[in-house]
Amino acid sequence: MRIFVKISLHILQRCKRHDQERATKWPQDTSLHQKLYGDVDDLRLTTSFIVETGVIV
């Protein structure tokens, strides 16, 4: 797996530190693919999640 995919998977899907923010943005299970390559609304959610968590990319 590429490092980008590993980091994305960790932050967007698994990181326990950001469970609450993730549940607020995506109350239903959402695939990593949709979070990274979905429509404009999906990408806005992903962007706002990253901003709120303070993760530097």
What is the chain's pLDDT, residue by residue, as a tens digit (57 residues)? 577 778 889 999 999 999 999 999 999 999 999 999 999 999 999 999 999 999 887
pTM of the model: 0.85
Q: Where are the domains of the chain?
A: 3-53
Q: How much is the pLDDT for 25?
A: 96
Residue 53 neighbours by CB under 8 Å, 6+ apart: 11, 18, 21
Q: Are 18 and 11 in contact (CB under 8 A)?
A: yes
Q: How much is the pLDDT for 36?
A: 94
Q: How much is the pLDDT for 24?
A: 95
Q: How much is the pLDDT for 5?
A: 77
* Cα(28)–Cα(5) distance, integer angstroms: 21
